[in-house]
Amino acid sequence: MRYISEFRDRALAEKLAKGIAQEADAARDYHFMEFCGGHTHAIFRYGVQDLMPKNVHFVHGPGCPVCVLPVRRLDDAVELAEKHGVILCTYGDMMRVPGTGRRSLIRAKADGADIRMVYSTLDALKIARDNPSRQVVFFAIGFETTTPPTAVAIKMAKAEGLTNFAVFCNHVLTPAAIGHILDSPDFAPGGPARIDGFLGPSHVSAVVGSRPYEVAARRYRKPVVIAGFEPLDVMQSVLMLIRQVNEGRAEVENEYTRVVTRDGNQKAQALVDDVLELRDSFEWRGLGAVPDSALRIRDAYADFDAERRFAVSDKQSREVKSCECPAVLRGVKKPTDCKLFGTVCTPDNPMGACMVSSEGACAAYWSYGRQRQPETAA
């Protein structure tokens, strides 16, 4: 298949693996954070780690939008459906994420709340049109990749004069998170963890371009390579990072040139900017409050803002005890450091978002079997 099979070519992978082994300096270690869960899954699915020399390590980052959503916002969504009686529409991955007391959207749905899985914001708009006597809320999550469809839905609702449609906006931004991670004591000199460079977001960068990462690369002296999601993309990007580290460079380079440009999709950016604006601060699971890291709906579209239309109660939200998702998302622990991994917590019985989401690190470790606990003989 064009643009897929050539990026999974075995002979090329072997050649790249040789190149990486030759250029990696045996006298040092390299720790590269793959920001996106898509990269984590590519690394495990295709066995990329097995092709790396022993001194090249992957640090899994927070780039899973379902995983970084704090429990409080999930609890709020459950409350919107249960207390306010709205039709709550959301993407499939959110349905099984455990909230406080392991209450998920799918459990709330089983108890009678009207919660519907949708594939796009347009599905949610259709539900609003088809149910004029009901309030419909789209539970919007995601990085910059999914902000344009949310902005489009809000603009369409306004143009159509839909009065029963609103968005619960939880969109988060990647560049601020990268800076926040590098500012944390975890990655300070002498701290428990280390990052020598980043495999930068790919789909996100198709929208925002590679330019937004230049500030972090300069300020923190950490190279960033925008990397595609195929195995050869990841390997080529690792080679580019190794070269930068060896040469003492800290630049933003773009491996994913077939999709990403320096300035990104400016039409999509303008659309988003018209509808959404920066929040002062937003809480991320694992990272805590991150300044300038999320978007909210502008005043001009306030009628479509679920946070302004529906008051949610103050509540004490809690992670599942012993779930290490926050530390996994910060890159300071691996899923296998969690004592619940593969024992109490599995995809059939998830204790945290990282085991539910198709981009979660725990799901990657589990799905591709490389870190699964051996089954006990009957």
Smaller CB distance to ligand SF4: residue 195 or 328?
A: 328
Identity of the residue, 272 or 353, whose beta carbon is nearer to ligand SF4 in the bound complex: 353
Q: Please classify residue 153 by burial: count the beta carbons closer than 10 Å to its beta carbon, then call 0-12 exposed, 13-18 middle and 19+ buried.
A: buried
| Residue whose Cβ sits closest to ligand SF4 | 352
Closest CA to 59 of 222, 210, 218: 222
Task: Tell me which of 340, 357, 359, 364 binds ligand SF4, using CB under 6 A.
Answer: 340
Is 113 a residue that touches ligand SF4 (CB under 6 A)? no
Quote the least distance from Cβ 317 to ligand SF4, whole Å: 16
Q: Which of 78, 81, 204, 354 binds ligand SF4 (CB under 6 A)?
A: 354
Q: How far is CA 106 from CA 90, 123, 195, 201, 250, in A?
A: 11, 19, 37, 30, 45
Q: Which amino acid is at 172?
A: V
Pick the piece of the chain touching ligand SF4 (CB under 6 A) from 89-97, 144-152, 310-318, 352-360: 352-360
Taking contact as CB under 6 A, which single stretch among the options 135-143, 243-251, 292-300, 346-354 is the one that binds ligand SF4? Answer: 346-354
Give min distance, CB of 48 to ligand SF4, in A.
21
CA distances from 225 to 143, 242, 246 (A): 18, 10, 15
Q: Is 69 a binder of ligand SF4 (CB under 6 A)?
A: no
338 binds ligand SF4 (CB under 6 A): yes
Helix (H, G, I), strand (E, B) or coil at 33: strand
Q: CB of 334: closest distance to ligand SF4 in angstroms?
A: 9
Query: Does residue 335 bind ligand SF4 (CB under 6 A)?
Result: yes
Smallest gap from Cβ 71 to ligand SF4, in A, equals 12
Instruction: Please give the angle made by the CA atoms of 131, 135 and 140, to the nearest 5 degrees.
Output: 110
For position 71 contacting ligand SF4 by CB under 6 A, the verdict is no
For ligand SF4 (CB under 6 A), the number of binding residues is 14
Whose Cβ is closer to ligand SF4: residue 146's or residue 357's? 357
Contacts of 94 (CB under 8 A, 6+ apart): 66, 69, 74, 77, 105, 139, 141
Tokens of 236: 């080529």
Instruction: List all residues 6 or more positions away from 278 whose beta carbon is below 8 Å from its beta carbon.
Output: 173, 292, 294, 295, 296
Q: Of 206-214, 225-233, 301-309, 349-357, which segment contacts ligand SF4 by CB under 6 A?
A: 349-357
Which residue, among 152, 145, 95, has the nearest Cα to 118 in the 3D structure?
A: 95
d(CA 18, CA 4): 22
Q: Out of 65, 223, 231, 352, which residue is the one contacting ligand SF4 (CB under 6 A)? A: 352
- What the block records as the tokens of 73 is 């916002």
Burial 104-141 (b: 16+ CB within 10 A, else e): bbbbbbeeebbbbebeebeebbebbeeeeeebbbbbbb
355 binds ligand SF4 (CB under 6 A): yes
> Which residue lies nearer to ligand SF4 by CB, 39 or 330?
330
Site string (294-333) toward ligand SF4, x via CB under 6 A = -----------------------------xxx--x-----
Kindly indicate which of the ranges 23-31, 104-112, 122-130, 351-359 contains the residues binding ligand SF4, using the contact rule CB under 6 A.
351-359
Q: How far is the CB of 320 from ligand SF4 (least distance, A)?
A: 6
Q: Cα–Cα distance between 224 and 249 in angstroms, integer?
A: 10
C-beta of 38: minimal distance to ligand SF4 in Å? 18
CA distance 372 to 346: 10
Of 23-31, 112-120, 236-244, 338-346, the window that binds ligand SF4 (rule: CB under 6 A) is 338-346
Residues that bind ligand SF4 in the complex, under the rule CB under 6 A: 323-325, 328, 335, 338, 340-341, 345, 351-352, 354-355, 362
